[in-house]
Amino acid sequence: MQSHFDLFGLAPAYALETDALERSYREIQSKVHPDRFAHAGDAERRASLQWTTRVNEAYRTLKDPVQRAKHLLELHGVDVAFETNTAMPPEFLMQQMELREALENAKDPSALDELRKRLRQEKSFMERQIGDSIDHKKDYNAAAGLVRKLQFLDRLDEEIDAAYEEIE
């Protein structure tokens, strides 16, 4: 199967050429989007819907740091196994517990802002490590472990969103 990178004419790498991705995404969309086929026959409308769906999914996957890594690792034959492999190093789990405690104690938007800032720093550090493991060291198993950690942090990010809503 054609990879999401092939679809956009990009080299398969974790470090993303965001501008090039956006450019080819828009160029392809301008050819296949259903708005171009509103007056066409059923066959063309169906083909347009299928292609646009695929292009949107590929774009979303590549834009998302966890999903992009997962896709790349799959291309290298490594399964990230979010569901089955939940073992984490103790110090990472400790840090997670501490962050979650901080979330429970955050009762106002400014405390949440602070926590989010910390989490974002943590996430971008993790992303740099993933990029290094995949693009340079080519250590895909180590990368899979880091991706699982990053997904943990993503979940916490979602919980922060929920906490903001609760306060509002």
Which residues in this chain contact other proteins in the complex, by CB under 8 A? 7-9, 20, 23-24, 26-35, 38-44, 46-49, 51-54, 56-57, 59-60, 161, 164-165, 168
- End-to-end, the C-alpha distance of the chain in Å comes to 46
Beta carbon nearer to other proteins, 45 or 92: 45
Helix (H, G, I), strand (E, B) or coil at 79: coil
- How far does Cα 150 stand from its chain's mean position? 9
- CB 25, min distance to other proteins, A: 9
Q: Which is nearer to other proteins, 28 or 126 (by Cβ)? A: 28
Q: How far is the CB of 39 from other proteins (least distance, A)?
A: 5
Q: Which is nearer to other proteins, 83 or 91 (CB)?
A: 83
Query: Is the Cβ–Cβ distance between 91 and 111 less than 8 Å?
Result: no
- Cβ burial, residue 29 (10 Å; 0-12/13-18/19+): middle
- Rounded to the nearest whole angstrom, what is the least distance from the CB of residue 14 to other proteins in the complex? 20
Residue 27 beta carbon to other proteins: minimum distance, rounded to whole angstroms? 4
Cβ atoms of 64 and 14 within 8 Å: the answer is no
Cβ-based nearer residue to other proteins, 98 or 113: 113
- DSSP 8-state symbol, 36: G
